[in-house]
Structure 1
């Protein structure tokens, strides 16, 4: 597996700017806002163009939504038994499959056994407030949203060798003791006096909660030393020593990810699970826009040599071929390149091969007692971080003070994801339990968190997906060529690629919707079918992991 270094701060800032402004691809000829489809004329009765949409992920469903409401005759071919693609919420009775790694045959890995009212988002789990497309579609579709809590000061961090198992550091202690120590060091350097010295000292006192001498001896911002009593005045917890904070390298474990723009408050999640979005999209396009969605329809070949786009697919034990005026592919690139493709340019074939998809795993647990909300933990949402292979541990942002709940017990990337994906599902759960127990000793109690209620998913082994997102690298010259190529249609404007894989926001639903709107605008003639001379390749590591 290839590795690469993360972007510098200036490169990361530029990458994020391009992503948010649209300069990185879709809508790169506009200002990053959604095209105005209201001005687009409806297809004339009896002359409605036909569209085959391959894959019912968020990008494919959004394409069907926009073209369907303009009268285009859309058919969606989806190889799985459900719509949504990587928008996947696990519920009681759901069956999870992965490729066996030998004959590449799907094998059953889990049958979800959560309680009836519980669920866990195995794919996207949050919506930033500035992802306006997702929020607007939710509003239009009537999908109720609630806050997603990215961070609380009660969340914890475990760093092997610095915080023993079960003895973690609270977020508030790391954040505020680091501020206090750094403010004191900077205050000590103010040996000369000018018109800014006094205000700067005052700022540092407030910033780091320093004493009058500019020294740091702890702060109630980091919590109290003892629980409050009617006879006791609050005393700050003893500060974590600066040397221990530095030696822990806590900042390398995504501690500051919630400060990055993509993860800043306020974030949202659909009430009842992320799949509420795809359910609402599917219901709208089929009931109101007369879109046909065919499940268990696996595409095997695409032919652009005729007058239209020809697609062959397997369904119900048959092999069928159909044609349409346009074909829009939401098929992940690692899957698309395995199909029989006729009439495609060499440049397009090279583009498909140029970028791989990132490995990523998630683990979900049902807890029969919400121990994280008890008097000791006092955690209500947010994420705890660790250098264990599970990487991060999410607490639910819903159903506070209820009896049971689900926890995301791992969400990892890179080598950790590759290694976890190689394990049998039972071994993944054992590894995840070990990591969780370093954060919460309650995971040693299998009655509290039953082993048989755990689920895992390795997205790079999931049939018809083969990865979490396109792993774009702006420093790879082949990616520069490939990304631009994917923004342009093949076959004289008959075949298009959609999804977050062809967007400035890989790994995000906003990227999938942005890409769909871009392609719809190209089909309608609202945007040119050739990409600008220069486009910015997204930095997938930065945009998905905050590194």
Structure 2
């Protein structure tokens, strides 16, 4: 079917789906996008500038590392990438310190990583090589990174996959898109429309059938759509919720071998950047603060002066907050900040201007935040991303086999690759 399909239906208007749609539209294909939400962007979720003073990101926020596809799109769109700078602080028992692992432990950890020849989970690595009391702080730091940065379960996460990420020289480079990721989605949408894409919102796909001449797609509200081919570009957990033909249904069972973590993200806007004036430490350069409270990670909007703190709870610890509604999550976040900075809850509430809390695991169209590699993930990705020339293809960040799984770059790259595969490029 490569190159022969004239009408392609794309299920999911996240970064992968929109990127695939743009590429196919530019090649002269007729493209229809079905999106379950009332907006495009998926796990890119821009919030109102009226609420936060800028177009804040309720989902993906940072551009990580080299990100060539993302940077290329930014160039096309005339958007700029602002570097993120500032200090990372850790607070324990009210004492602030710059967050640095002891040098000898860091060296030992990376030496073991570099010498590994077979894969194992993060937990197995720590149990085998760093079980002694001298490594307690190292173990805590590694586990915190795996859960907090990768949203991963240390009992499942692949060390070799994480080694590729941790030991890459560009890993620590972070940037933010001026105007937020929403500006990039706006550009992709405009490109899709310019090339004739038909975008249908609130169209939740519940089933796909193959026919003699392509596919028949059924939506929850009762509509049905025919096309020559379909690209299924939805978050990993949703693959199990869509009825598929038997061969494809058997294929997507491999998705269980790919880790998929959750994130709860809080955005709190205050009257002022009060944290720069606390007595405990000079935090005028604060970018990140890490702690052991309920919402353990917070960051500022440096180098801008927006009086917004973003809270982050990721990985297995999010299960403890699964039943909390948005107001309860905000209350938990404020309580965490009060503990970190030694302030009273009424003080913080008096300063609060706007607040949002997004639990991506409770979002019916995501069921979580982003993927990570387990011991079996690379084989599963190869299976899911392969194509036998049939009428249904899969795409999305979870299928990306490069170093930066779980990122917008991964989603954009996967969408691009899927479209080119269908076009026979």
Distance in 2 between residues matched to 1:332 and 1:182, nearest whole Å: 35
Match of 1:495 in 2: 392
Q: Residue 273 in 1 paired to residue 170 in 2?
A: no
Match of 1:229 in 2: none
In the TM superposition, residue 279 of structure 1 has moved relative to its aligned partner by: 1.2
Change (3 A) 1:84 1:386: same
1:331-342 equivalences under 5 Å are: 331-342=234-245
Contact 1:55 1:76 in 2 (8 A): yes
1:453 alignment partner, SS class: strand
1:300 alignment partner, SS class: strand
Segments of 5+ residues of structure 2 without an aligned counterpart are 108-132, 150-164
In the TM superposition, residue 56 of structure 1 has moved relative to its aligned partner by: 0.3
**Relative contact order, CA 8 A, sep 6+: which one is greater?**
2
Match of 1:522 in 2: 421
In the TM superposition, residue 466 of structure 1 has moved relative to its aligned partner by: 0.6
Aligned counterpart in structure 2 of residue 123 of structure 1, from 46, 55, 59? 59
Aligned length: 376
In the TM superposition, residue 348 of structure 1 has moved relative to its aligned partner by: 1.1
Change (3 A) 1:144 1:448: farther
Q: Residue 289 in 1 paired to residue 195 in 2?
A: yes
Change (3 A) 1:301 1:246: closer
- Per mean C-alpha deviation after superposition, the further-off stretch among 334-343 and 438-447 is 438-447
Q: Residue 321 in 1 paired to residue 209 in 2?
A: no
Contact 2:286 2:300 in 1 (8 A): yes
Aligned counterpart in structure 2 of residue 157 of structure 1, from 90, 99, 110? 90
Q: Deviations over 1:85-135 (max 9, x none)?
A: 001122267xxxxxxxxxxxxxxxxxxxx24x2343222111124111111
2:218 alignment partner, SS class: strand
Distance in 2 between residues matched to 1:259 and 1:351, nearest whole Å: 26
Distance in 2 between residues matched to 1:295 and 1:58, nearest whole Å: 15
Greater helix fraction, Structure 1 or Structure 2: 2
Segments of 5+ residues of structure 1 without an aligned counterpart are 1-42, 94-113, 184-243, 527-547
Change (3 A) 1:525 1:182: closer
1:379-398 equivalences under 5 Å are: 379-380=284-285, 382-398=287-303
Contact 1:53 1:327 in 2 (8 A): yes
Q: Residue 413 in 1 paired to residue 315 in 2?
A: yes
In the TM superposition, residue 454 of structure 1 has moved relative to its aligned partner by: 2.1
Q: Deviations over 1:293-329 (max 9, x none)?
A: 1111111210113320111124xxx522221112111
Aligned counterpart in structure 1 of residue 267 of structure 2, from 348, 354, 364? 364
2:253 alignment partner, SS class: helix
Q: Deviations over 1:361-394 (max 9, x none)?
A: 1111112111233485333452111122323111
What's the TM-score, normalizing by structure 1? 0.62
Distance in 2 between residues matched to 1:89 and 1:303, nearest whole Å: 34
Contact 2:263 2:312 in 1 (8 A): no
1:422-461 equivalences under 5 Å are: 422-442=323-343, 444=345, 445-447=347-349, 449-450=351-352, 453-461=354-362
Aligned counterpart in structure 2 of residue 309 of structure 1, from 211, 215, 236? 215
Q: Residue 168 in 1 paired to residue 96 in 2?
A: yes
Change (3 A) 1:305 1:181: closer
Aligned counterpart in structure 1 of residue 304 of structure 2, from 392, 399, 423? 399
